[in-house]
Amino acid sequence: MRGLWAVVPAAGRGTRFGSEVPKQYLDVDGQPLIAYTLAALLAHPLVEGAVVVVSENDADWPGWNETFRIAAAGKPVSTAIGGATRAASVLSGISALPDSVRADDFVLVHDAARPNLALDDLQKLVERGREDPVGAILAAPVRDTLKRAGDDGGIDRTEPRERLWRALTPQMFRRLQLSKALEDAAKAGVEATDESMAMERQGLRPLLVEGSEDNFKITTPADLARFRFILSQR
Ligand code: C5P
């Protein structure tokens, strides 16, 4: 069975979080958040290595130190320089993958800010995704009632939530198909907020694989507190 490489976009400034240090580098029990993310990905026996996409002049990237050696479990982790959008950063990460990753090999793209990915979910994604011609994403069904707001902040209507899913990561697609989809979206001026969106634009239909709600993205200080609590319970 062929191994998989991961691309981890970590070039965002995380302005919503409101801290000086980008959220992926916030200290959690003595380790930067991104170390947990890498450890979760590289824990899978089929994941061979990762490319972390950092922003230019990234003063916060902790570099290849002891923390990362432990997180990486002896697997190679390299860096690439990101772009202005998430899609540009992912494209840069794909270009930096080693030549051993073939054009039709699957690649995992996983947010640096999702440190609580469970091995079971990753396994489920890899198993199901490999059997799909296009690929697959982890996702969770929408559980809240959804409201469409008007310009004045009043509710225009309620949107049916049946068949609506929240896209999580990792997302798993073939190297060449994904880079082509991201390039095409960029050329068309469409900002793909996840990889699947770029693939869908090509008329492709990635598979939804239900994942745990615990695989949340750290966006606010409350999310970070939730992750710290989860760690304390491990
Ligand atoms: O901003 P958001 O939380 O959606 O970012 C998701 C992931 O994409 C984060 O890990 C962030 O660092 C990354 N990103 C990036 N390059 C950008 C914007 C976001 O690598 N230009």
| Mean pLDDT of the region 161-175 | 97
Q: CA 158, 162, 163, 166: dihedral to nearest 10 degrees?
A: 60
Q: Whose CA is nearest to atom 5 of ligand 1?
A: 12
Domain regions of the chain by residue span: 4-233
Q: What is the pLDDT of residue 165?
A: 98
- CATH number for the segment(s) 4-233: 3.90.550.10
53 lines ligand 1 (CB under 6 A): yes
**Distance from C-alpha of 136 to C-alpha of 196, rounded to nearest angstrom:** 8
Which residue has 């069975």 as its token pair? 1
Which residue has 């540009």 as its token pair? 88
111 lines ligand 1 (CB under 6 A): yes
Q: What is the pLDDT of residue 177?
A: 98
Q: Write the burial class of residue 231 (CB in 10 Å: 0-12 exposed, 13-18 middle, 19+ buried).
A: middle
The pLDDT tens digits for 208-227 are: 999 999 999 999 999 999 99
Distance 215 CA to ligand 1 centre (A): 16
Question: What does pLDDT average to over the chain?
Answer: 93
Number of the ligand 1 atom closest to the C-alpha atom of 219: 3
Distance 156 CA to ligand 1 centre (A): 31
Q: Whose CA is nearest to atom 6 of ligand 1?
A: 111
**Distance from C-alpha of 193 to C-alpha of 61, rounded to nearest angstrom:** 23
C-beta neighbour count of 74 within 10 angstroms: 7
89 lines ligand 1 (CB under 6 A): yes
Number of the ligand 1 atom closest to the C-alpha atom of 13: 12
Q: What is the pLDDT of residue 62?
A: 64
Lowest average pLDDT, out of 9-18, 57-66, 75-84, goes to 57-66
